[in-house]
């Protein structure tokens, strides 16, 4: 009984100490370097070292908050890249919570692998990505038309109001052929802008994998395949 009590109070003391340290490092940073805004500050497996994100990059700071470095923390026992875990977690959103009805759906082959794309019709990298995506097979692509450029709003709504959204979108993004349908239906275009903002998508294109992993940019088809393989998707 006494042993149990001691064990319990020890573990409590430990938890509190760990928490206090994160708070202490945070306080030290805020006080001494208020311009260095590190988010998600947390303990690591390495004593006295804390991880966090700075400009969406994983960084490490020491206990006295006087030094910071960027690099990979590898657990020697199994050669595991702990920094990678943090980077993946930092870049992950809840795929299942995406309102897929607000996206243009494209199915190829058996459609087994899923991707969500946030794309603006007037963004050159989005056009490039569209070409890359065309090389993927056995995939379902949900394209959220994300009109971050003001001149994209009207054609985006017209795409949505077209009899065949998928065809109208492809024509616009790949061939630069403007949709002819009037923008007179209910569209998710404004909702998509809200959604993207909520997800922290400050640019286009964004690619979200079915496990929630998010990357930005015109990824080549081979890179997308590689990510699928890495995550076993
Ligand atoms: C560990 O993962 C990070 C984040 O993905 C990556 O930038 C880094 O190159 C990796 N380090 C090694 C040694 O593989």
Q: How far does residue 226's CA lie from ligand 1's centre (Å)?
A: 15
Q: Which two tokens stand for residue 211?
A: 């496990």
Residues with CB under 6 A from ligand 1: 72, 81, 83-84, 87
For residue 74, give the ligand 1 atom closest to its CA.
13
The fold of the 2-90 domain, in CATH, is Nuclear Transport Factor 2; Chain: A, (3.10.450)
| 43 within 8 A of 50, measured Cβ to Cβ | yes
The one-digit pLDDT tens for each residue of the chain (233 residues) are 555 555 555 555 554 445 668 999 999 999 999 999 999 999 999 999 999 999 889 999 999 999 999 999 999 999 999 999 999 898 899 999 999 999 999 999 999 999 999 999 999 999 999 999 999 999 999 999 999 999 999 999 999 999 999 999 999 999 999 999 999 999 999 999 999 999 989 899 999 999 999 999 999 999 999 999 989 99
* The CATH number of the domain covering residues in 95-231: 3.40.30.10
Q: Which of 79, 81, 215 to mutate to test the pocket of ligand 1 (most atoms within 8 A of CB)?
A: 81
pTM equals 0.77
Q: How far does residue 44's CA lie from ligand 1's centre (Å)?
A: 16
Kindly report the CA angle at 173 between 169 and 178, in degrees rounded to 5?
Answer: 70
Q: How far does residue 84's CA lie from ligand 1's centre (Å)?
A: 6
Dihedral of the CA atoms 117, 122, 127, 133 (nearest 10)? 10
Strands 113-119 and 139-145 turn out to be parallel
Q: How far does residue 195's CA lie from ligand 1's centre (Å)?
A: 30
- Domain boundaries along the sequence of the chain: 2-90, 95-231
Q: Going along the chain, which residue ranges are E strands? A: 39-43, 49-54, 57-62, 68-69, 74-75, 80-81, 104-108, 113-119, 139-145, 206-209, 214-216
Q: Whose CA is nearest to atom 10 of ligand 1?
A: 72
Q: How far does residue 85's CA lie from ligand 1's centre (Å)?
A: 9
Contacts of 84 (CB under 8 A, 6+ apart): 72
Backbone phi, psi, residue 52, to 5°: -165, 180
């Amino acid at each position: 009984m006494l042993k149990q009590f001691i064990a319990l109070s020890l573990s409590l003391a430990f938890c509190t100490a760990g928490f206090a340290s994160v708070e202490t490092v945070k306080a030290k940073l805020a006080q001494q370097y208020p311009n260095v805004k590190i988010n998600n500050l947390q303990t690591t497996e390495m004593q006295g070292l804390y991880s966090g994100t700075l400009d969406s990059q994983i960084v490490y700071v020491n206990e006295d908050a006087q030094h910071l470095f960027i690099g990979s923390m590898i657990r020697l026992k199994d050669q595991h890249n702990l920094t990678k875990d943090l980077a993946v977690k930092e870049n992950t959103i809840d795929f299942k919570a995406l309102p897929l009805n607000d996206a243009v759906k494209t199915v190829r082959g058996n459609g087994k692998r899923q991707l969500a794309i946030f794309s603006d019709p007037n963004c050159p990298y989005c056009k490039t990505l569209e070409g890359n995506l065309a090389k993927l097979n056995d995939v379902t692509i949900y394209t959220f038309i994300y009109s971050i450029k003001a001149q994209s709003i009207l054609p985006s709504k017209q795409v949505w109001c077209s009899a065949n959204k998928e065809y109208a979108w492809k024509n616009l993004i790949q061939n630069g052929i403007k949709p002819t349908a009037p923008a007179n239906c209910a569209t998710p275009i404004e909702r998509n802008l809200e959604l993207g903002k909520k997800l922290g998508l400050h640019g286009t294109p964004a690619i979200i994998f079915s496990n929630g992993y998010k990357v930005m940019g015109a990824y080549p088809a081979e890179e997308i395949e590689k990510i699928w393989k890495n995550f076993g998707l």
